[in-house]
Structure 1
Amino acid sequence: MTGEKQKHTKMFIPNDAAEKYASERTKRLRPEQVAQFIDFRDPTLKSMDTDPYVDYDALSTKGFPLRDGSDVKFLIAGAGMLGLVTAHHLVNEAGISSSDIVIVDKAGGFGGTWYWNRYPGVACDIEGYCYVPLLEETGYMPRHRYCHGHEIREQLERIADKSNIQGQFCTSVTHQIWDDEAKRWIVTLSHRLSHDQEPEELTVKAQFLLLAGGIQTAPHVPNLNGIDVFRSAPKKSLMHTARWDWSATGGSQESPEMTKLQGLRVGIVGTGATAVQVAPHVAKWAKHTYIFQRTPSYVGPQPQKETTPEDWAKVAYKTGWQYERMESLDAIFTGKSDAEDKVQDGWTRVSGMRAMAGYAGRIITPETQAQHVEDMMNVDYPWTEEMRRRVDAEVKDPFIAQKLKAWYPSFCKRPTFHQSFLSLFNSPSVTLVDTDGQGVEAYTPHGVLANGREYEIDVLILATGYTVGLVDSCPSSALNAPLMGRDNRPLKDKWDGEDYGTLFGTMINGFPNLFFASGNGGSVSQNANSFYRIASRLISHTVKEALRRAENPDKVTVEVEKNAEDDWSARITERARWFSAFPSCTPGYLTGEGLVQTQNKMNEEEEQQIAKRSYWGEGILNFKEIVEAWMDEKKLLGLTVDS
């Protein structure tokens, strides 16, 4: 339903449903907001942040591309999708030699989130034909429509191999500072050669620097009475899904036969996208499974299917097929009336996604904001009501079914998709512990405390997600590494300051030769591959053009002009009201655990500061058109190139 059609819709969210949304939101608002969690960057959780998958011997045998004093043309901090796709474009479009590019990551290999997430059942709920990058370029046919995690990791490794990209693994960025005389970024690194040895410090130089730390910056857990209360008790096992311990459960990511859970009581904290995938596998092996719920998720159907040659011939039917398919998905998300739905799955039915996606040609004003919020709520309601009916159809016990129903707009928390999660609760060996929005209360030597009762558990699984770069979206914060630009100004100071701004969410004034990919000043899609492709091609194009026109390419700098940054920020601000439905949301990571709900208490100046940090309000396809038109001119408008 397009913006025009919304004016004529006959579906209105009933008053009782709107009141239910409001009451469920209110009971979950907590004054500490994101401080109710503590993440792996905190010293008290350091022991949980080890890499259970790294092979130090294999890495040492292969060798590392950087040593103390190295000088590299392009350094990429982050070996996930953004870093690898950008490296691919730098090599294959910008003409930079792969020997001049190094990707740095604290992990033991390529993959980013797909390196770390190896829990049973891990998969992408976005169709793999759209989500998995560079399928056509690598000639790879996914084995399933919704790719399992290890297959996505393998594809990212394939991209690195195909372009001969170098990885400096087991290495964290600790500090970055711009040297204006040398025209280089001076980057300090901490390189670990084993679990036991202290890391060694390296200092390297880089002409260009990409911050690719991602948006899920660090695994986090509820900040209760100290996790060691449970973890240090005899015969207890604890793990976060982002650091799955297969030695404790048995099996492997490829063959999740968790025989070591037999006869044990297992607790899973969380009912988000990760828990929805984990729980069916755990419940298959455990003696009893307790699932602790703070806020239920919408759970739509997802019929998995192996990719046959016949299927693939229909999908990959012409040159450019993947990008056409990705655009179709984004067109559905943004509500384009003439869009062909090439994907036709659960995601393309979630009409409420347009509240966070934007819509080309519609700029919401103060006068039209109230009607816009009403439109978004109305267009969202039919799908959410359908998902609540699905709970009733899948769960036999009406009392449990009521507890599993989500009461908030679909755009507030990422919807989930699974064929068997809801029916789990028909089993006598699975118990839902609904905490009515409060969460678990404490860790105990025997298990956890919830609703004033202690639940005895042998294995505790924290499916509690990540610290997400919404409250602190500064690109250097994702790496937990300070970055200083011209005149030693911290990037965080500029990002949080009144003179904040970016160009296309990828470049910022005062920080030459620095790139990132931020939704702030950029765009968003539920399909991460969409925005990362735009950003990576933009970065590659900018570097290529800057080097081409430089008299001395070794000393070239490219930097956003302040007036161009301000002009783009003004355009972002003008469109920010598209996202004005978010204060109606229940707290979650997409709303800063309640931060968004405080915006109605801000003065006009504070609102303007928030607005210019918004996403592009006319949708990712409109954003893509603007960026591609800018690149097609090949003038680097708004940038200063010096050499």
Structure 2
Amino acid sequence: MSASATGEITAQQPGREVDAVVVGAGFGGLYMVHRLREMGLTVQGYESAPDVGGTWCWNGYPGARTDCEGYYYCYSFDPEMLQQWNWTERYPTQPEMRAYFGYVADKLDLRRSYRFGTRVEAAVFDEDSGRWHVRTEAGERTSATYLITAVGILSAPNLPNFPGVESFEGQWYHTAYWPEEGVDLAGKRVGIIGTGSTGVQAIPLLAEQAEHLTVFQRTPNYVIPARNRPVSQQEMDEVKARYDEVWAKVRRHWFSFPFDMANMLAGSTEEEERTRIYEQGWANGGFPFLFTFDDLLFDPVANESAAEFVRTKIRAAVEDPAVAELLCPRYPFGAKRPPSGTGYYETFNRDNVALVDVATNAIAEITPRGVRLADGTEHQVDVLVFATGFDASTGALTRMNIVGRDGRVLADKWAPGPSTHLGIGTHGFPNMFMITGPQSPFTNIPPCAQNTADWIAEAIAHLRREGATRMEATEAAEQAWTEQITAIAEQTLLTAGKDVHSWFTGTNVDGKAAVINVFFGGADKYMDICEQVAADNYSGFEITTTEPAYAR
């Protein structure tokens, strides 16, 4: 690919030809490479990180760990791996996740199919050859029949755009690019901007390391205690003995958890019993608190009961009533991803921690010495940490310069919001498949990524059996899918918090279209739909046998 005088990205003769290019070496990418190689296809993988793990290779900030328990935040396709691997904590840390990915890559010899530390600069569909031409920033060129992106939902950092960042005389870091060797914060005044999932995990540890920590909060969060702890070998053995049951439950669960749905409605449960169930969920900890009742995302009264329960816990944990109220969210519980934390609210009782509300007094600029607010107040810091999240769902794809048929640039097509069929294909981009693409479920990622990779592998196998050359989502199908996910979201309270800056709706990124980016109909229903589409001869996809121009 090259850029023309007008800036248009065009195709050049590729250097190497393979059957498939896979972008990403996280859960989806690694498994996709494994499946395609099993099918006998030649594969070239690219990963911008220095090793396997995708997001888990990059995000080494203090406190980084999963918010799903390790025993079901993993692959399920290989019984031997399930029996061999032991998780050491309920919620694995980033180093443990990196170790897990390394174990998988070594066992399946996956690294040989990848170029690491290699970012894809552009991918262009060449209509004459019917192939994707891929170019890396280093200038390597590869062509492939199939382009498969496995770049993750949360992998394109939302970098700070505050005026004056370049003038700051101290050190600044984005949590997604935390130095592998760590950062020495002893004796430093530290400021952190952002209180999403990343900030919630990092803030307690930064407070322990820094001389003083200033937390700049725009939107408070409903933080559920993680209740993290070591996992004994006995517990692991018990899980391993019932893994068939675990994965069967995962497949049937709205969020791909190995639990039964509550089958209870908060709105029709007596207050005393409802509070008892909330207390039990709070004591157990973690994301499943969201599923203590089945109506929390649909019934405003039920939702407010859960929201007020959490606010009561915040007020009990935080000693200063004024600080506690600043930490209490006022939007629907679940309208932003509710993170799991350890000692988060208690951190604000420390003498060396200050909470600054930038919802009512916004950040005006970064100065050489710190952060200046709209009213002129300046907070001096030595180190700035930006926990400003990600350009979720679409960002990693729109930044890749993907060009489909007729020179259509994906970023331009999706400027008003993403449009896909199943979150897997998009019209105008033949033989391009997305794993956990925009408009796919927000769920426990590994099971969904594995399921989608299986679907893509089987679709490619179908094309090869039929002698077909192209598979492309139809415009009608992606319009119907977009309407469906929007209608589902509008039945929930996810769009009720109009002032909530959430990556669910793209409103956490300035200038991004405010639309639903996620399928909220349940991971179980999503997988059912995908299976039915395949059974219906891949309905919603146009499959063609087109002789390439060079063969005519």
Relative to the length of structure 2, the TM-score reads 0.82
State the secondary structure of the residue aligned to 2:248.
Answer: helix
Q: Distance in 2 between matches of 1:570 and 1:355?
A: 23
From 85, 100, 103, give the equivalent of 2:45: 103
How far has the Cα of 1:582 moved from its partner? 0.5
**Do 1:176 and 1:481's aligned partners in 2 also have CA atoms closer than 8 Å?**
yes
The CA distance in 1 between the partners of 2:355 and 2:484, in whole Å, is 47
Residues 521 and 569 of structure 1 are in contact (CA less than 8 Å); yes or no, is this contact kept in structure 2?
Answer: yes
Matched-pair identity in %? 28
Please state whether the residue corresponding to 1:216 is helix, strand or coil. coil
Alignment-derived partner of residue 465 in structure 2: 548
Contact 1:474–1:495 (CA under 8 A) maintained in structure 2: no
Q: Is 1:151 aligned with 2:96?
A: yes
RMSD: 3.5
Gaps of 5+ in 2: 1-12, 265-276, 547-552
Q: Deviations over 1:60-111 (max 9, x none)?
A: xxxxxxx97111111012222221232233344xx235xx122212221222
Q: By how many angstroms is 1:264 displaced?
A: 2.0
Counterpart of 2:241 in 1: which secondary structure?
Answer: coil
Question: Does 1:238 find its partner at 2:172?
Answer: yes
Counterpart of 1:102, as a letter, is Q
Q: Letter of the aligned partner of 2:151 in structure 1?
A: G
1:268 alignment partner in structure 2: 192
Q: 1:246: Cα distance to partner?
A: 5.6
- Write the letter of the residue equivalent to 2:521: E
| Distance change (3 Å), C-alpha of 1:452 and 1:352 | farther
1:25-44 equivalence runs, <5 A: none
Query: C-alpha deviations, 1:17-59, integer Å up to 9, x for none?
Result: xxxxxxxxxxxxxxxxxxxxxxxxxxxxxxxxxxxxxxxxxxx
**For 2:527, which of 621, 624, 629 is the aligned residue?**
624
Deviations 1:216-271 (A, max 9, x none): 353234422221221xx2xx22211112236572xxxxxxxxxx322222222222
Which residue is equivalent to 1:279?
A: 203
Cα separation, 2, equivalents of 1:614 and 1:227 = 29
Return the alpha-carbon distance in structure 1 between the equivalents of residues 530 and 323 of structure 2. 49
Q: Select the residue among 507, 526, 529 that pairs with 1:593.
A: 507
TM-superposed deviation, 1:206: 0.9
* Residues 356, 224 of structure 1: alpha-carbon distance in 2 compared, 3 angstrom cutoff: farther
Could you tell me which residue of structure 1 aligns to residue 145 of structure 2?
Answer: 207
Which of 487, 496, 500 is the equivalent residue of 2:406? 487
Shift in CA distance, 418/496, structure 1 to aligned 2, threshold 3 Å:
closer
- Give the drift of 1:394: 1.3
Per-residue deviation, 1:617? 5.4
Give me the whole-angstrom Cα distance separating, in 2, the residues matched to 1:463 and 1:474: 17
- Inter-partner Cα distance in structure 2 for 1:503 and 1:288: 49
Contact between 1:185 and 1:205, CA under 8 Å: does it hold in 2? Answer: yes
CA distance in 2, matches of 1:583, 1:335: 27
Identify if the C-alpha distance between structure 1 residues 420 and 385 changes in structure 2 by more than 3 Å, giving closer, same or farther: same
CA displacement at 1:516 relative to structure 2: 0.9
Which string of whole-angstrom CA distances, capped at 9 and with x for unpartnered residues, describes residues 440-472 of structure 1? Answer: 332122222235322222222222222224xxx
Distance 1:626 1:314 in 2: 33
Whole-Å separation in 1 of the counterparts to 2:199 and 2:63: 10
Is 292-301 or 159-168 further displaced after alignment?
A: 159-168
Counterpart contact for 1:550–1:642, Cα < 8 Å: yes
Q: 1:117: which partner in 2?
A: 59
1:562 CA drift (Å): 5.2
TM superposition shift of 1:409: 1.0
Partner letter of residue 124 of structure 1? T
Aligned to 1:9: none
Greater displacement, 114-123 / 72-81 = 72-81
- Secondary structure of 1:476 counterpart: helix
Instruction: State the 1:147 CA deviation.
Output: 1.0
Q: Which residue of 2 aligns with 1:430?
A: 353
The code of the aligned residue for 1:642 comes to T
Deviation string, structure 1 residues 406-453 (Cα, Å, up to 9, x no partner): 111122222122231211122212222233444433212222223532
State the partner residue of 1:514: 432
Q: Which has the higher helix share?
A: 1
Does residue 1:386 correspond to 2:386, yes or no? Answer: no
- Map of 1:82-481 to 2, 5 A cutoff? 82-92=28-38, 95-97=39-41, 100-134=42-76, 137=79, 138-139=81-82, 140-165=85-110, 166-191=113-138, 201-230=139-168, 233=169, 236-245=170-179, 249=183, 260-327=184-251, 330=254, 336=261, 338=263, 345-351=285-291, 375-450=298-373, 452-469=376-393, 473=394, 476-477=397-398, 480-481=399-400
Q: Gaps spanning 5+ residues in structure 1: where? A: 1-66, 192-200, 250-259, 358-374, 601-609
Give 1:136 deviation, angstroms. Answer: 5.0
Structure 2 counterpart of 1:146, which letter? Y
Secondary structure at the counterpart of residue 401 of structure 1: helix
Match of 1:14 in 2: none
- Any idea what SS the aligned residue of 2:525 has? helix
Kept after mapping to 2: 8 A contact 1:135/1:141 = no
**Aligned in 2, Cα 1:439/1:152: closer, same or farther, shift over 3 Å?**
farther
The structural deviation recorded for 1:319 is 4.8
Assess if the C-alpha contact under 8 Å between 1:352 and 1:377 holds in 2. Answer: no
* SS of structure 2 residue aligned to 1:582: coil
The answer on whether the counterparts of 2:27 and 2:450 sit within 8 Å (CA) in structure 1 is no
Corresponding position of 1:37: none
Q: Is the 8 A contact 2:391 2:506 kept in 1?
A: no
Q: Residues 254-311 of structure 1, C-alpha deviation per residue, up to 9 Å, x if partnerless? A: xxxxxx3222222222222112211222222222222222221112211112221221
Q: Larger deviation: 286-295 or 567-576? A: 567-576
Deviation at 1:569, TM superposition (A): 5.4
CA distance in 1, matches of 2:519, 2:158: 29
SS for the counterpart of 1:512 is coil
SS at match of 1:442: strand
The one-letter amino acid paired with 1:240 is H
Displacement of 1:168: 0.9
Q: Distance in 2 between matches of 1:288 and 1:576?
A: 41
Number of equivalences = 508
Give yes or no for contact 2:61–2:202 (8 Å, CA) kept in 1: yes
Q: Secondary structure at the match of 2:56?
A: helix
**In structure 2, do the counterparts of structure 1 residues 293 and 616 end up closer, same or farther at CA, with 3 Å as the change threshold?**
closer
The SS at the match of 1:432 is strand
The change in CA–CA distance for 1:337 and 1:446 in structure 2 (over 3 A counts) is closer
Q: State the one-letter code of the partner of 1:440.
A: I
* More moved, 567-576 vs 580-589: 567-576
Q: Provide the rounded CA distance (Å) in 2 between the counterparts of 1:521 and 1:497.
A: 14
Q: CA deviation at 1:539?
A: 0.7
What is the identity, as a one-letter code, of the residue corresponding to 2:388?
Answer: T
CA distance in 2, matches of 1:431, 1:262: 17
Partners of 1:313 and 1:536 in 2: how far apart? Answer: 28
The 1:515/1:578 distance shift into structure 2, 3 A limit, reads same
Check conservation: 2:419, 2:479, Cα contact below 8 A.
yes
286 and 489 in structure 1: CA distance in 2 versus 1, 3 angstrom threshold: closer
Which shows bigger deviation, 315-324 or 267-276?
A: 315-324
Q: TM-score, normalised by structure 1?
A: 0.71
> Cα 1:215–1:387, aligned 2, differ >3 Å: closer, same or farther?
same
Q: Cα gap change, 1:135/1:282 in structure 2, threshold over 3 Å: closer, same or farther?
A: farther
